[in-house]
């Protein structure tokens, strides 16, 4: 009999055609036919609990599925199927449109130029739900070492790459709402704003 780990959700085992909680004494000495689990991830748009169930052949498999769901929820990348298809390019376009209403024109023009010349050509086709810090780090490395068409076929300076990182940070910290918020890493609800900084902190160039 095993105890549930903190934050891992509810786990149940299928034995003799019935589901039992993993701490149920009836599981002693018996092998589970199958496992399932659920975890509370917050509230849906309609106010109902967001508590998805997952199934697996082993307890460890279900735990891994639940951990992945929690990781995506914490990072703001868990969404319905249509929202999970949102790409970096689509998000940046939405962010730029929103930023234009609260940003000086000269500053906004700089954001738009960096997005158009550097972020979208490299990361634009990647889904937000699949974007990882190492992908961003590789972009920075390429910008610093490889000839860039937008810079007369010369590598970018560290200052320019730093500006690219700053634009990404501003976009990721955008406190947006609406239909795409669940697809943005992070969703930037108040308690997740610190996760935003952690997500991209390791991607800032020196």
Specify the pLDDT at position 203: 47
d(CA 144, CA 138): 10
Q: Which of 50, 75, 100 is the last residue of a domain?
A: 75
What percentage of the chain exceeds 70 in pLDDT? 73
Contact 32, 12 (CB under 8 A): no
Residues 66 and 85 in one domain: no
| 89 plus 154 within the same structural domain | yes
Share the mean pLDDT of the chain.
77
Q: What is the DSSP letter of 148?
A: B
pLDDT of residue 49: 83
* Pair 97, 169 in one domain: yes
Domain co-membership, 192 together with 139: yes
Residue with structure tokens 């279900």?
A: 62
- Note whether residue 2 is domain-resident: no
Alpha helices in the chain (DSSP H): 59-75, 81-84, 88-99, 105-114, 120-123, 133-145, 158-172, 193-201
Residue 206 domain-assigned? no
Q: Which residue has the tokens 């009999």?
A: 1
Q: pTM score, two decimals? A: 0.50
- CB-based contact 169:198 (threshold 8 Å): no
pLDDT digits (tens, 9 = 90+) for 154-196: 888 888 999 999 999 888 876 543 333 333 333 333 333 333 3
Which domain does 130 fall in, by range?
81-201
Whole-angstrom CA distances from 43 to 51, 55, 138, 169 are 8, 21, 36, 27
Q: pLDDT by residue (tens digit) across 58-82?
A: 999 999 989 988 887 777 666 555 5
Report the greatest alpha carbon distance in the chain: 72
């Amino acid at each position: 009999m095993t105890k549930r780990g903190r934050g891992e959700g509810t786990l149940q085992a299928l034995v003799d055609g019935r589901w039992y909680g993993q701490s149920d004494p009836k599981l002693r000495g018996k092998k589970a036919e199958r496992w399932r689990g659920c975890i509370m991830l917050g509230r849906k748009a309609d106010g109902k609990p967001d508590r998805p169930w997952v199934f697996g052949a082993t307890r460890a498999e279900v735990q891994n599925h639940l951990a992945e769901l929690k990781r995506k929820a914490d990072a703001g990348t868990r969404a319905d199927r249509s929202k999970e298809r949102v790409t970096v390019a689509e998000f940046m376009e939405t962010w730029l449109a929103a930023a234009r209403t609260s940003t000086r024109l000269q500053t906004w023009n700089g954001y738009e130029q960096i997005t158009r010349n550097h972020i979208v050509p490299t990361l634009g086709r990647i889904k937000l739900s699949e974007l990882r810090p190492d992908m961003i780090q590789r972009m920075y490395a390429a910008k610093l070492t490889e000839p860039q068409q937008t810079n007369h076929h010369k590598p970018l300076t560290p200052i320019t790459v730093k500006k690219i990182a700053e634009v990404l940070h501003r976009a990721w910290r955008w406190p947006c709402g609406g239909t795409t918020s669940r697809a943005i890493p992070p969703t930037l609800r108040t308690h997740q704003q610190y996760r935003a900084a952690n997500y991209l902190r390791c991607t800032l160039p020196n």
